[in-house]
Structure 1
């Protein structure tokens, strides 16, 4: 007896690991105040790299004015309602088990300019020098009533050539060089940066310097407007949904608040992270959670929380992803074969959860111990194979499906042709 020939064992090729690589890197960008700053990269690697962002060495997380999202091989960072304080060095780092790479760029946010050259509520006064015979020369800029928002940073610039013995004076009181009041020089400009403006800074701020012409003063008149405050609240709440499996789902809401609130999404009280099938996005006051090709596992309670220093709000909606009973989508009614040949019958089906599959003949489940019969099941296809067909293999064969939602069956008639 000739022993059967065994098929060679299939050898799986190992997955090749690749260090992350940026095919599109960050570029320096200049933007104006209140615009949306968009940074994007393209990165590849195996396994898929994890992407992180930082500004001036400090990690950036989702929420507030920052929007982080990924699509395919791209990663994006968007900065909403940009301010001069958003200027800095931004870095994107991609990491996987084979290593890590980074790309950086410089973001410069420019403030609107006026005759006083306002930059992030920054006032600039050009000095007009007058030379008189007196040993003291005083030059006062025209007083411009300018509102500066409380809580912002403020930089004053006085253009004084050959200045020495610099003093900055607030309402008659000299300001010491400190963390709150930072003296500086930029070219021929004498600068004073106030880290965080309060009502105390309202009034007259003077830059006083000694020059060859004498004592020179540059005066600034500042009006500090109170910082607005508004706890987050919903303009539009997300709605509960019932969808079929495989459909895309979008939860959308609108939230107002000042300052702009930090927002997070949760599923069944667990924070949601961006994944290949879950996207988080923001456009002004509109926030969106998108689920691509939803499955039963995506069913649950979805909550969005928003908070700032003045309060918080939250809203919860539910998602119910509907499963389907089993159904035979395609099965031939009749097939035929010659004795001694092989015969295959394939049936396509659907159902969620995945149904159990049986081939039955004359009340017996196949293969029923007969080595000539073989059943091969895939995700949505079941194939009955009969080798060395005999005449008594003719008859009705039934494909049966079942899950907790129901069952389905269909019959194919097998004919054996006479030689």
Structure 2
């Protein structure tokens, strides 16, 4: 609903109105005439001034909302004034008028939708459609072979600000076929489809299986769960114990190295491997025991190496400032 109160001096040639652009923006617009250099146009929403409205020398004034939400519901008012007087125009963007705006937004958002794409995951297929932005009030539904897909264990629909999707979990040959996204804007239904059959389905299923294997390997690969400090310092003639914990399935092999050469249980070195842990003990350390040590863990799914620098110092000397003193 628009109201105008014509006064002497500047006044409205075009009253407040709204439009929805192809970019799904809402633009409020008006045009004033009989203006001078001192003429000013101010905008208000529910009595609060809107500071980002634009006033052009042609007399056109606009206010743009990039993404409309329910917060835009309200009463808008534009006031043009100078020393000769003022005029105002009011737009009540509420009730039926706001619903008409949402319908137009829904339509433009649906028209902005790109083709249906597919993203393979370790869990299955994710069919998606990108839009300028998605309105929660838009009525969307997914269909398989022209039959609506209802919420079930193996399907999981979802949406974000710029995307609508459905996940097909644990796909099988029975999931081969045409998928369609339907978007109802309140008056019309807009459709986007993907034919997931033939080689397209075979390639997608193969990629899903590959990602599933990668996820399984990553979950079960050997990894250090409780590592070592970067640097340890110990006084000469003391004994040093370094313990590291690891996990994986199958249980990982664990090796200690010094300067990239394997350390074995001989002489002053003693290695004790227990369930998920390995301890390296160096008895009566000497200055020659300083160096770069590492724990290397591995199983058939992968491996990891964690490094530690051992710094031996003499009695009366200060240990390295960055070291954990043992």
TM-score, structure 2 normalization: 0.39
Greater per-residue helix proportion: 2
Which structure has the higher relative contact order (CA within 8 Å, separation 6+)? 2
Q: Which of structures 1 and 2 has the bigger CA Rg?
A: 1
Provide TM-score, normalisation by structure 1.
0.32
